[in-house]
Amino acid sequence: MQHFSGAKLDLDWAGYSRLGRLHADWGDPNQDCYGVESVESAGAVVLGVFDGHGKDGEKISQFARTEILERCKRELESGKGASETLSVVFGEVSQLIDGDDDSTESGSTATVLIVQDHRIVSGFLGDSSASFCNLDAQSQVLDSGFFFEPHRTSNRKEARRILEFGCIIEEGYVVDPENKDNAISITRTFGDRSMRGCGVNSEAEISEPRSFDQNSIALVIATDGLWDLPKVTAEGVSATLSRMLRSGSDLVEIVEQFSSFNGYVPTDDCTVLIATVTAKTP
């Protein structure tokens, strides 16, 4: 478990990445990764998970992690706010990945949270996601939910945008009408330039800041390997996290258990970051 202490917050975190059953059976590498960067001069912590796909997905997800963390640190140290930092950095990294020939049919999702000044801002592409739960002094859940709706065809706004491009949605996939072998299950991503004509883009969304002034808040940031497991909801994840914290489990133990939530071995690679954040009052 790692710890960050700033003037306005204390943050503990742990991460774990588990190879999915399909990749294990095929002898393929884990294409997920995660990263955390502390920015002491800005009183901020940057946390992210990245889920590669396609032949070169592992390479692209690791490149996205390295570039996003380094660039976020630089922008925050220069005095930029969290929202502007994420907007600038996602745009820069998208351009870099587009310049790589391997990004034609490979790519990566990204979910990145910046915790700073009693606020949390998220930037995201794809179907990795992040949930929160506000906790009282005894680690009981006060409320919980997701920071955003992921970029999938089940997202009505995203589905409408894809259909307006004249493309097809079949069984949750965006399908190229000119070549039905060209399909993808997400509507935004780094890379996958072959799907741009179908409306699949690399334009990140930046969430409105969420504050945590009075209580502790726990964050679960994970690739779809967690969120696609049976019976996984923000409420269920929060209840399990609360129970384990109250029983004395540390974050290292909790995050490893979450990578096979409720005893299910994930089909896809599953990467989980969990952080607990407590605001400091003057």
- The pLDDT, as a whole number, for residue 114 is 98
Residue 49 · residue 271 · CB < 8 Å: yes
pLDDT tens sequence across 171-213: 999 999 888 888 999 999 999 999 999 999 999 999 999 998 7
Q: Would you say residue 177 lies in a domain?
A: no
Q: Would you say residue 156 lies in a domain?
A: no
Q: Would you say residue 114 lies in a domain?
A: yes
- The pLDDT, as a whole number, for residue 137 is 86
User: Rounded CA gap, 109 and 68, in Å?
Assistant: 12
| 3-state secondary structure string across 99-155 | CCHHHCCCEEEEEEEEEECCEEEEEEECCCEEEEEEECCCCCEEEEEECCCCCCCCC
Q: Would you say residue 169 lies in a domain?
A: no
pLDDT tens sequence across 52-83: 999 999 999 999 999 999 999 999 999 999 99
User: Rounded CA gap, 23 and 28, in Å?
Assistant: 5
- The pLDDT, as a whole number, for residue 205 is 97
Q: Which domain holds residue 132?
A: 2-150+204-279
Weakly modelled stretches of the chain, pLDDT under 50: none
- The pLDDT, as a whole number, for residue 87 is 98
User: Rounded CA gap, 145 and 148, in Å?
Assistant: 9
User: Rounded CA gap, 270 and 241, in Å?
Assistant: 17
> How buried is residue 170: exposed, middle or buried, by Cβ count under 10 Å (0-12/13-18/19+)?
exposed
> Residue 265 is part of a domain; what is its CATH number?
3.60.40.10
Q: Would you say residue 246 lies in a domain?
A: yes
Q: Would you say residue 25 lies in a domain?
A: yes
pTM of the predicted protein model: 0.95
User: Taking Cα atoms as reference points, which of 223, 220, 224 lies closest to residue 239?
Assistant: 220
Q: How many domains does the chain have?
A: 1
- The pLDDT, as a whole number, for residue 282 is 66
Q: Would you say residue 197 lies in a domain?
A: no
- The pLDDT, as a whole number, for residue 265 is 80
User: Rounded CA gap, 214 and 177, in Å?
Assistant: 51
Q: Would you say residue 189 lies in a domain?
A: no
